[in-house]
Amino acid sequence: MQTSAKNEHDAIVPDESSKLSKTEQVAEMFDGIAPKYDFLNHTLSMGIDRGWRQKAIESLKVCNPQTILDVATGTGDLALLATRETGAQITGVDISEGMMDVGRKKAATGNLSGKISFQWGDSAALGFADNAFDAVMCAYGVRNFEHLERGLSEMCRVMRTGGRLAILEFSKPTMPVVKQVFGFYFRHILPRLGNLVSRHGRAYTYLNESAMAFPEGENFRKILEGCGFKEVKVRPLTFGITTLYTATK
Ligand SMILES: C[S@@+](CC[C@H](N)C(=O)[O-])C[C@H]1O[C@@H](n2cnc3c(N)ncnc32)[C@H](O)[C@@H]1O
């Protein structure tokens, strides 16, 4: 199923004054912050992201995957964990070679280069055959897609019938106090610290803006169903700071 529907959120870009497309801007931004990405990721999430990734991988195990596609693989944290946890052959695709270079080094250090391949690929047009993978996953990538629904439809196309999907994305907690504390941290502290340490003027401001605009929860469930996925489950984690979306086809 291919759709070219546009979401409001697709228009959230790192730099509104830039003439580059969202995809080009996002790739350039991640190339720029790649050397600091892992440090910032684990520090700013206070290490909680490891548990979220673990839960995403657990959800895929029911289909006993031998092949997994990791879309927007970045520096490969989810891919590395997935191959350790499942033994599956992982293909990671991303539009930022800078991010994948960090991932390639980590895979080599962990003697996992034979189990993970990193290749350039845009979610909007995945270069794989229909039904090519047992499972497809994506952590903190979908909010960056220039064409959200096209990317999700592509992820559905390349996943086999009966396969499993796992998507992690930031969401907004609704519980009082947590909502206020997290809102303050995400709006004021995280962008300042992130921009300072990454030496990128706007990367972590964009993170906040793109997460705030993302069609999360039930809205995202409807989008996933519209893109061909079935049995979509929406599971908020850690007070809803992140949501794990799982589905089959
Ligand atoms: C926040 S990082 C997440 C990386 C990794 N999945 C993780 O969990 O750490 C987002 C990644 O999405 C990639 N990305 C953004 N848009 C993409 C697209 N259209 N196709 C493939 N990758 C994309 C970026 O280059 C970046 O590496």
Test site for ligand 1: of 9, 13, 39, 96, most ligand atoms within 8 A of the Cβ: 96
Strands 159-170 and 242-248: antiparallel
> Domains in the chain, start-ordered, CATH in brackets?
20-248 (3.40.50.150)
Angle between helix axes 97-109 and 22-44 (nearest 10 degrees) is 40
User: Which residue type sits at 21?
Assistant: S
> Which residue has a Cα nearest atom 1 of ligand 1?
140
- Ligand 1 atom nearest to CA at 41: 9
Number of neighbouring beta carbons within 10 Å of residue 185 = 15
| 221 touches 234 (CB < 8 A) | yes
pLDDT of 60: 98
Can you spell out the DSSP letters for 146-208? SSHHHHHHHHHHHEEEEEEEEEEEE----STTHHHHHHHIIIIIHHHHHHHHHT-SSHHHHHH
| CB of 77 sitting under 6 A from ligand 1 | yes
CA of 176 to the centre of ligand 1 (A): 31
Q: What is the DSSP code (8-state) at residue 25?
A: H
Provide the residue count of the chain: 249
Helical H segments across 89-147, by residue range? 97-109
| CB of 79 sitting under 6 A from ligand 1 | no
Number of neighbouring beta carbons within 10 Å of residue 224 = 25
| CB of 145 sitting under 6 A from ligand 1 | yes
CA of 94 to the centre of ligand 1 (A): 6
Give, for all 249 residues of the chain, the pLDDT tens digit. 444 456 777 888 888 888 999 999 999 999 999 999 998 888 877 889 999 999 999 999 999 999 999 999 999 999 999 999 999 999 999 999 999 999 999 999 999 999 999 999 999 999 999 999 999 999 999 999 999 999 999 999 999 999 999 999 999 998 888 888 888 877 888 778 877 877 777 777 888 888 888 999 999 999 999 999 999 999 999 999 999 999 999
CA of 120 to the centre of ligand 1 (A): 11
